[in-house]
Copies of this chain bind each other. A is one copy, B any other.
Amino acid sequence: MTMRIYGDTKSGNCLKVKWTAQQLALPFDWVEVDILQAQSRTPEFLAMNPAGQVPAVVLGDGRTLAQSNAIMLHLAEGSALIPGDPFERAKMYEWLFWEQYSHEPYVAVARFHVLYLGKPVGELDAKLVERGGAALARLETQLKQTPYLVGERLTLADIALVAYTRVAHEGGFDLSLYPAVKAWVARVEVALDIH
């Protein structure tokens, strides 16, 4: 059975999984799930993923996996997207957890409020603006030193973090303040062939 990816194309978390599968040339069927229509809260969906979140994948053997970064780690196992060196791999994990804790809850949520809930940028919660800016500044610090987040090569950390960073302007963030981030976004978009 071909792997099925359940995702909402509006969601960077879902696109991460799609891009990883594409990058690894893994065959998959994409099943669109509209979050705004609560399609991830139907009884059928909850039976598959009790967390009621997308993305979720049903693997070839019928088993289900959720959490974007966990799915990426599973799909990419043994590939060049995960560094072979233990310390570099640990740094990749560090970025993946930081992304979900200190980047996505601000950068992605600000975008969601503006783009899908229609909130004017000027009325965004100050915490979203401040912490989203801090997350982008932290990326800038790293990307002034290395072309990719974990050194010289593309890893899952770049795929995870580019997803919402490349659309951060849709949540009111000005990427021109972070030139190294902007250059990295372009670099990762070329590597992933997404434009």
Contacts and interface: CB of A to CB of B under 8 A. Distances in A.
Interface stretch (A26-34, A60-68, A119-127, A178-186): A60-68
Interface in A88-140: 89-91, 93-94, 96-98, 100-102, 104-105, 138
A96 B100 CA distance: 11
B86 A67 contact: no
A90 B105 contact: no
A152 interface: no
B77 A93 contact: no
A73 interface: yes
Interface string A78-91: 00000000110111
Given A100-B100, A100-B101, A70 B90 contact: yes
Q: What is the interface of chain A mostly: helix, strand, loop, or mixed?
A: helix
B87 A69 contact: no
A195 interface: no
Given A51-B102, A51-B138, A141-B50, A94 B77 contact: no
A10 B10 CA distance: 38
Interface string A5-19: 000000000000000
A83 to B, nearest CB: 12
A120 to B, nearest CB: 22
Interface of A: 50-51, 59, 63, 65-71, 73-74, 77, 86-87, 89-91, 93-94, 96-98, 100-102, 104-105, 138, 141
19 contacts: A51-B98, A51-B102, A63-B87, A65-B90, A65-B91, A65-B94, A67-B97, A67-B101, A68-B97, A69-B93, A70-B90, A70-B93, A70-B96, A74-B86, A74-B89, A96-B97, A97-B100, A100-B101, A105-B105
